[in-house]
Amino acid sequence: MPRRHWSGNLGHAAGAAYCGVYMKVDEGGCEWVAVMVRGYDLETQLCELERNHPELHAVIDPQRLSTWRDELAHRSEMQDDFGPSGRGVEYLQAQELNVNARAVGITQLAQLMLGRPGANPARDRIIVDLLGGNGLVRRVISATLGPRAASVLTCDASPHMVSAAWAQGAPAIIQRAEQSLLRSGSVDGVLLAYGSHHIPVGLRQTVANEAYRVLRPGGIFVLHDFLHGSPAERWFADVAHPYSLTGHDFEHFTYREIKDCIARAGFVTSSVMDLDDSYTVTGATADEARRNMGQYLVKMYGLVRVERELGTDAAYYWAADQARQIFRYADDGVTAKASRLCYDDRERTWYLTIPRRAVVGIGWK
Ligand SMILES: C[S@@+](CC[C@H](N)C(=O)[O-])C[C@H]1O[C@@H](n2cnc3c(N)ncnc32)[C@H](O)[C@@H]1O
């Protein structure tokens, strides 16, 4: 058996989905062994979890795993909006360029699930991010609440995203939100966020039921989306849908649907609330902040058709201006009413914030 000496993330250096380096020691001496973790390679994901994140490996249910293995082996190529032929490459670029663009919302979700920074940190709490992408939520949790705030298992249906998560050092597994691989009563928090509207309406109750099943008593389920009829929905309908390669024709949640979903799953205590989920992007000048915001939005939503029509720079300014017009709210204290551009003297940086309001349903088991 190779003996583990050290493991770490060389993802970008290696230019591939990469996770660990191990020193194999035997009578002949020692050699370094690199382990690649690809998004479609469930077996290597499991091995890496067992080696480096045993607490996460322990929550995986062998029986559910065996059914999923069969399905993965026999499934034909799936439509994957977040794959390289969809908007996956640009989506990841957007996150890398602006890791903190959505930190306001993500931090609040983390605080809901884990408590405020410094509040009773428990090393062994396990959080499952069902629509985890490349592990951005884990990264923001680690930066804001500390790396030991929780063990986060990043899950995603897109192999491209799971590869990218491992390349970032985020333990991840290929899994569909509606078909959890986890043991009953095994985790402390389940997050369904930043893409809940991608779950088909007919499967949403299954996702909530599964969240309830895998939570320990006292565990928390957080369901985040953008309301039907909200400015965010208008953004998707008027900008993301017509101007992206993949389109964006998904039904957003209503308050009622969130409440009912959580109650029907069996959660005894629940609440639904609004959340400030604004975008913030910086620049050395006001103009650069506007351009960077546009770039973030064009890449995040894969607005390739605008780029083709207007050229790259004009597309960025167009996207930023569209967002500034669409994301406007009543003055009720949840978010700013409209976009804000301001200069921070100490940091010598311009900040452009575009308000965005999300809705969050919470269920406690
Ligand atoms: C908008 S991205 C969010 C990624 C990440 N949480 C973030 O905030 O950057 C939505 C993610 O949900 C994944 N997804 C969509 N439907 C899914 C499903 N049924 N099960 C698991 N993942 C799914 C997509 O592959 C995509 O990576």
DSSP code string of 38-102: -TT-HHHHHHHHHHH-HHHHTTB-HHHHHHHHHHHHHPPPPP-TTSTTTTHHHHHHHHHHTTTTT
pLDDT confidence of residue 17: 55
205-233: pLDDT as tens digits: 999 999 999 999 999 999 999 999 999 99
What strands lie across the sheet with 172-174, from one edge to the other? 172-174, 151-156, 126-129, 187-192, 215-225, 357-364, 269-276
- Find out whether the beta carbon of 132 lies less than 6 Å from any atom of ligand 1: yes
Cross-strand pairs, 279 = 354
- What are the residues whose beta carbons fall under 8 Å from the beta carbon of 189, sequence distance 6 or more? 113, 114, 125, 126, 127, 128, 150, 215, 219, 220, 221, 222
- Find out whether the beta carbon of 133 lies less than 6 Å from any atom of ligand 1: yes
Question: Span 313-333, mean pLDDT?
Answer: 96
- Find out whether the beta carbon of 199 lies less than 6 Å from any atom of ligand 1: yes
The residue whose C-alpha atom lies closest to atom 5 belonging to ligand 1 is 133
Strands 18-26 and 29-36: antiparallel
Domain 102-232+240-276+358-364 is of which CATH architecture?
3-Layer(aba) Sandwich (3.40)
Task: Give the chain's mean pLDDT.
Answer: 90
136-170: pLDDT as tens digits: 999 998 998 888 889 999 999 999 999 999 999 99
**Chain center to CA of 5:** 31
The residue whose C-alpha atom lies closest to atom 15 belonging to ligand 1 is 198
Q: How far is CA 11 from CA 19, 118, 313, 336, 359, in A?
A: 7, 31, 30, 38, 34
Neighbours of 280 (CB within 10 A): 19
Two structure tokens written together for 199: 């779950």
Percent of the chain with pLDDT over 70: 89
pLDDT confidence of residue 25: 63
106-123: pLDDT as tens digits: 999 999 998 755 555 555
8-26: pLDDT as tens digits: 444 333 344 556 666 666 6
What is the whole-number distance in angstroms between the Cα of residue 309 and the centre of ligand 1?
28
- Find out whether the beta carbon of 136 lies less than 6 Å from any atom of ligand 1: yes
Q: Which numbered atom of ligand 1 lies nearest the CA of 106? A: 8
Two structure tokens written together for 96: 């890398």
- What are the residues whose beta carbons fall under 8 Å from the beta carbon of 356, sequence distance 6 or more? 105, 226, 231, 232, 276, 277, 278, 279, 327, 335
- Find out whether the beta carbon of 152 lies less than 6 Å from any atom of ligand 1: no
Amino acid at 158: S
Q: Would the pLDDT of 284 be above 50?
A: yes
CA distance 113 to 57: 21
pLDDT confidence of residue 74: 83
Q: How far is CA 294 from CA 230, 307, 316, 342, 347, in A?
A: 21, 11, 4, 17, 22
Q: Which of 131, 181, 248 to mutate to test the pocket of ligand 1 (most atoms within 8 A of CB)?
A: 131
Q: Where are the beta strands (DSSP E) in the chain?
A: 18-26, 29-36, 126-129, 151-156, 172-174, 187-192, 215-225, 269-276, 279-283, 340-344, 349-354, 357-364
- Find out whether the beta carbon of 225 lies less than 6 Å from any atom of ligand 1: no
Parts of the chain belonging to CATH 3.40.50.150: 102-232+240-276+358-364
Burial class (CB in 10 A: 0-12, 13-18, 19+), 93: middle
Percent of the chain with pLDDT over 90: 78
Specify the pTM. 0.92
- Find out whether the beta carbon of 101 lies less than 6 Å from any atom of ligand 1: no
**Chain center to CA of 30:** 39
- Find out whether the beta carbon of 194 lies less than 6 Å from any atom of ligand 1: yes
